[in-house]
Every structure is written in structure tokens, then in C-alpha cells.
Amino acid sequence: MKARRFGTVIGLLALCAVLWALTPHFLTVSNLLNIAQQTSINAIVAAGMTFVIVSGGIDLSVGSIVALAGVALGVMLQGGQSPFIAVPGAIAVGTGCGLLNGLLVSVGGLPPFIATLGMMSVARGTALVFTEGRPVSGFDEGFRWLATGTAGFVPAPVLVMLMVYAVAHLVLTRTTFGRYVYAIGGNEEATRLSGVAVRFHKTAIYGVSGALSAVAAIVLTARLNSAQPIAGMMYELDAIAATVIGGTSLSGGSGSLVGTLVGALIMGVLRNGLNLLGVSSFLQQIVIGGVIVGAVLVDTLLKRHRV
């Protein structure tokens, strides 16, 4: 697993080297910060996705939760609430959706694909009904600091991303909860027979994913200065891609947040580089699809030779 992580980092560095050779605009401080900022939202969603996938599940509802939590935030802010109320409120909305996913999976016994597919539609629909399909725009400067502010030279979204990863990494590697995430993904029945409250922890795992989707929604809303019910379309696929490129197995039981962060950066660097090179957005989709499949294919082939 260490070797795999190393491989992903090499892939990222090789990609950077190629882009550096192809365009002088790539390796500049402002461009790199730009990439980090653009990556931050996908990376935050993918952190939650990593918890879910390591536990052997999948969460298709993250994009819709981004929209719903964003809209909830926007409505509260426009209603004159302080960000100190609205931001935790949005996170509560996201967490609630996630916990509902978790209950459907753990207590209801639904396959995660189905439970979160349902939530994907319900959360999106709720966001649209709530706003009558219109964006909620125009927030005060204090809140927009989350998009425009910097700490030293680090843009605020990047700061949020790094904080999310630091905490999430600690939780996944150093707490009993983190251990149980791996154990449930590796062998749920053996974990249950070891006395672990599997239902409780599974529910919490989807709660984490929902909460982090809401954090991404907050950053996105600040950046756009607008909360849109159609925001977050296809985010689930980007998050799954970043997680999988980062070496987490879709069958559960293994993976790491460091890998996911690198996976998200690979996607960010690739999009940025292709833009700098003037590759059309249609063609970009083809390249990104190829990279996702290629990365996992290399991983699979390496594993086969390990025996």
C-alpha cells in the first residue's frame, strides 16, 4: 500500500513535469495556488467519500447535498442570520442528510448505491423546491472571506481543505472510529462479532460524508457569492474518481486520505494544464476519463503481479 501511494505521488510529479515542459505558465506561484483553490472543493467532498468507500460503501448523494446545504446556507444568510449561525446550520443540514443515508443503509439494510441514489434525487429536489429553482445571491464581505481571504499567502479555501484533511487523517488513522471504518470495509461480519457497533458506525460514516459535503458547499457558496440549487452536479463522480485514483479500493477495507488528496490534485492539475494548453473542454473529458481508467488499470496490473 505504501508503494501504491508512492506511485500516485510519482504520477502527480510526472504530470507536473510534463506540463512544466509544455507551458511556462504552469509552474508559477499564482497558478499553483489557483490549482489548489480549484481542487479544494472536490478534495473536501472526496475526503468524506474516502470514509464511505473504505467502509465498503458508496455515496452518490454528495453533489446534491452540496446543493441543498449551500441553498440552506444562502437562505439563512440572506435572512440576516450571522455566518456563525448559518455555517453550522448548513453543516447540520448536510450531516442530517448523511445520517439519513446511513440509517437507510445500516438499519434499513438498503444497498448504499440505492440509498444514496434516492438521497441524490431527494436532496436535489428539495433544494429546487426550496428556492423555486432560483439562485440565492449576494452575501456580505465577512462571509465571503472564506473565498477571497488569505492566511499569509494561502487562500482560505485551501486552508479549509488542509484543515479538513488534517483532522480527517487523524480520525481515520488514530481513532477507534477510523479503525472500525477499515474493519467494516474489510469484513463487516467479523467486525460485528468482535463486538463493534457496526450499525452505529456505518450511520456515522455517511454522516461524515454529508458533513464534509456541507463544508464544500460553504466554500463553493462563498466563492460564487451565490447559492445555486443546481450546484454540485456530477461532484459525486469527481469525488469517487479522486478517491479511486488515490488508491482506495472500491471493494473497501483499504485506502488513505493522503492518496485521495493526491488523487484530487492530479485531477486539478490535469484540468488546469489542459486549460493552459488550450485543449477544448470536450477533449478534456476524454483525457480525464482515460486518466481515471489508466490509473486504476496500472494499480490492478501491479497487484496481479504481486501475487
Q: Which residues bind other proteins (CB under 8 A)?
A: 174-177, 179-180, 182-183, 186-187, 189-197, 253-254, 307
Q: Is the separation of the CB atoms in 255 and 248 below 8 Å?
A: yes
Please give the single-letter amino acid code of residue 228: Q
State the Cα–Cα distance between residues 234 and 68, nearest whole angstrom.
14
Least gap, CB of 6 to other proteins (angstroms): 17
Least gap, CB of 179 to other proteins (angstroms): 6
Least gap, CB of 2 to other proteins (angstroms): 12
Surface-to-core class of residue 226, CB atoms within 10 Å of its CB (0-12 exposed, 13-18 middle, 19+ buried) = middle
CB closer to other proteins, 181 vs 270: 181
Q: Which three cell numbers stand for residue 169?
A: 487523517
**139 Cβ partners below 8 Å, 6+ apart?**
74, 77, 78, 221, 222, 225
Least gap, CB of 200 to other proteins (angstroms): 10
State the Cα–Cα distance between residues 261 and 162, nearest whole angstrom.
9
Least gap, CB of 288 to other proteins (angstroms): 29
CB closer to other proteins, 194 vs 300: 194
CB closer to other proteins, 234 vs 307: 307
- 226 bridge partner residues: 137
- Coil, strand or helix at 26: coil
CB closer to other proteins, 32 vs 171: 171
Strand (E) or helix (H) holding 95? helix 83-106
CB closer to other proteins, 54 vs 158: 54
